[in-house]
Structure 1
Amino acid sequence: MMLDADQRRTFAALADVLIPASGPMPSATAAGVPDALLDQALGYRPDLAELFAEAVARCTGKDPEAALDTLAAQQPEQFQALTLLTAGAYFLSPRTKAALAYDPPPRSALDDVDSYIDMLSTVVDRGFAIR
């Protein structure tokens, strides 16, 4: 799904209402959400493309904040698609990741496969039963 320039402008305004700049965190547009990041998020969730496009079309030409309020009340599925893709694209941004300053703990190099085997043997012995 390719958005034209007008659709991207509408989406950028909506995204900045959803995710404004706050402290070290960039706004949605400053993080690059309306550009390639949105395309990347849509690539991960093509099932949301139609609802997303409908949401943007419904909000075109309206005050972004009021349009989002109306969308949330009247078209919750479109609102959910819009907000999910916006948040997903936001957290794909290198600027957002840098602002989070999150350093995940290192993964353990050792894997305790033996304990997994022991746990699974109980399940295998019991057999498949739906409760």
Structure 2
Amino acid sequence: MLETEQRRTFAALIDVLIPASDRMPSATAAGVADALLDQVLGYRPDLAEPFAEAVAQCTGKDPEAALDALAEQQPEQFQALTLLTAGAYFLSPQVKAALAYDPPPRTVNDDVDSYIDMLADVVDRGFTIR
């Protein structure tokens, strides 16, 4: 999807957006500029054009200054860039492992009795084509 130079520019931008912290990897360390970007672009093809325009606007510029200018002058492009970056970041296995989040078990709802009551009403009413 993206050319090598575009991916290099994107990698520089995303490390400004999501730098490494004590336990969380940076965006490039999490693989955001690689296959994960392609994956999220597959989920949101509507953002491909503003995303590509955002990367083109930032090519050859200081990443931090380019992001500031993009946010101020082209908010739609900035939003596409940041949304795809965040989405790809949280798809990363390294990020998921660093979060160490185990969702609580979901409770099972046993609704069989209510379904049987609803079906009994249907059976009592009978089959009628309207």
Q: Which of the five TM-score ranges fits, normalised by the shorter chain?
A: 0.7 to 0.9
Alignment of 1:1-131 (within 5 A): 2-112=1-111, 114=114
Identity of aligned residues (%): 83
Where 1:79 maps in the other structure, the secondary structure is helix
1:12 Cα offset (Å): 0.3
* Stretches of structure 1 lacking an aligned partner (at least 5 in a row): 119-131
Tell me how far apart the structure 2 counterparts of residues 66 and 39 of structure 1 sit (CA, whole Å).
25
Q: Residues 24-49 of structure 1: CA distance to partner in whole angstroms, max 9, x if unpaired?
A: 00000000000000000101100000
Tell me how far apart the structure 2 counterparts of residues 74 and 47 of structure 1 sit (CA, whole Å).
20
Tell me how far apart the structure 1 counterparts of residues 46 and 65 of structure 2 sit (CA, whole Å).
26
* Stretches of structure 2 lacking an aligned partner (at least 5 in a row): 119-130
Give the TM-score, by structure 1 length.
Answer: 0.84
Task: Answer with 1 or 2: which has the greater Rg.
Answer: 2
Tell me how far apart the structure 1 counterparts of residues 81 and 110 of structure 2 sit (CA, whole Å).
39
* Equivalent in the alignment of 2:123: none
Tell me how far apart the structure 2 counterparts of residues 46 and 26 of structure 1 sit (CA, whole Å).
26
1:76 partner letter: P
Q: Which runs of 4+ in 1 moved over 2 A?
A: 109-114
2:17 partner letter: L
Figure out how many residues of one structure are paired with residues of the other and give that number: 116
RMSD: 1.7
1:109 Cα offset (Å): 2.6
Tell me how far apart the structure 1 counterparts of residues 6 and 64 of structure 2 sit (CA, whole Å).
16
